Structure 1
């Protein structure tokens, strides 16, 4: 498995999601969402997930943390719900149907679930596993180590650990009834520092 095995969709929604990721994420956060997409596609292959909507997965992966960005932070909604609504707005402009726009919200929200049933939501399933792997190294053995090392070398982690744990802590403080608080209660900063591929000092 190599990065070249996966090609980003060439659609207006995909290009828009990439443009938003470049404008509103820091370099480290942008690398995280791109790594998450590659990992999700790799997991889909490893788990033989069929019928995946690759455009939906790409858009959702690139926008799954955009609700953390200051410009899209919501006073009451969790950051994953806020980000999902950004996805709805983007895909409405790209001409997606109402039902398919709702799927972006579903997938982005479910990436923060503790688990997702692949029969319920295959895109949400692979994105939840992918983000867990990239953030803390969970289920690292599902993909070849050579693939993950190529991915990390191409899209370095940099300051991701510090940035993400700080942002989630801020979300948890402002919105203690959201998933951000659960992540912090589960020692997100410590788990990120112990990431097996690239421990963060």
Structure 2
């Protein structure tokens, strides 16, 4: 099964263009890897989901960590949710679907969401956790992990990502990113086995 192909839709293609334009290469690759991990995990454990919604959420979920979309008041995931609503409106999505996209992006930084309650949020959480801190990487074969990183190299992801989170934590001490920065999470990010692959 091909886990690397994007959904065939205008919204998916435009989400990729937007991410390519605004995200640094290390962040763009993280977003693309997140989609691959999510899609592969969904196939492995048989989670039915909206492929277009998941792809667009994966591509946009961290754009509020970039300078043009950073908020000095809102946690980055909430700012990202607002950005996603604007994007989805431009893509012609109705209000309910715009709200769902925003919700998936916000929830990727919240407590674990069961797949039965919200498959897209669950899949994005699993995927982002695997890519950032190595959580649940055992769900994916060593060969598949190597293929993902070969296609979308890490490009110094860990330190660049930690720097963005530390900045969020300094400016917004009550946000979820600050909670992670104040835990053992940064060390787990630095020790992610994916960084040994490239």
TM norm structure 2? 0.95
Residue aligning to 1:35 = 33
The answer (yes or no) to whether the contact 1:137–1:196 under 8 Å persists in 2 is yes
Residue 77 of structure 1 pairs with residue 74 of structure 2:
yes
Q: How many angstroms does 1:188 deviate by?
A: 3.1
Q: How many angstroms does 1:197 deviate by?
A: 2.6
For the residues of structure 2 that align with 1:100 and 1:156, how far apart are their CA atoms?
A: 32
Residue aligning to 2:132 = 135
The answer (yes or no) to whether the contact 1:192–1:199 under 8 Å persists in 2 is no
Residue aligning to 1:96 = 93
Q: Between 139-148 and 185-194, report the one with greater CA deviation.
A: 185-194
Which segments of 5 or more consecutive residues in structure 2 lack a partner in the other structure? none
For the residues of structure 2 that align with 1:147 and 1:44, how far apart are their CA atoms?
A: 15
CA RMSD of aligned residues (A): 1.4
SS at match of 2:5: coil
For the residues of structure 1 that align with 2:196 and 2:173, how far apart are their CA atoms?
A: 28
- Render the CA deviation track for 1:46-102: whole Å, top value 9, x for unaligned: 11102x110000000001100100100111111011111111111111111101100
The answer (yes or no) to whether the contact 1:165–1:188 under 8 Å persists in 2 is no
For the residues of structure 2 that align with 1:198 and 1:100, how far apart are their CA atoms?
A: 35
- Render the CA deviation track for 1:17-55: whole Å, top value 9, x for unaligned: 1111111111111000000000000111111102x1100
Q: How many angstroms does 1:10 deviate by?
A: 2.2
For the residues of structure 2 that align with 1:137 and 1:143, how far apart are their CA atoms?
A: 11
The answer (yes or no) to whether the contact 1:172–1:180 under 8 Å persists in 2 is yes
Counterpart among 9, 32, 39 of residue 11 in structure 1: 9
For the residues of structure 1 that align with 2:131 and 2:152, how far apart are their CA atoms?
A: 11
Q: How many angstroms does 1:199 deviate by?
A: 4.4
SS at match of 1:151: helix
- Render the CA deviation track for 1:131-179: whole Å, top value 9, x for unaligned: 0000011011112221111000111111111110000000011011111
Residue 59 of structure 1 pairs with residue 38 of structure 2:
no
Which segments of 5 or more consecutive residues in structure 1 lack a partner in the other structure? none
Residue aligning to 2:112 = 115
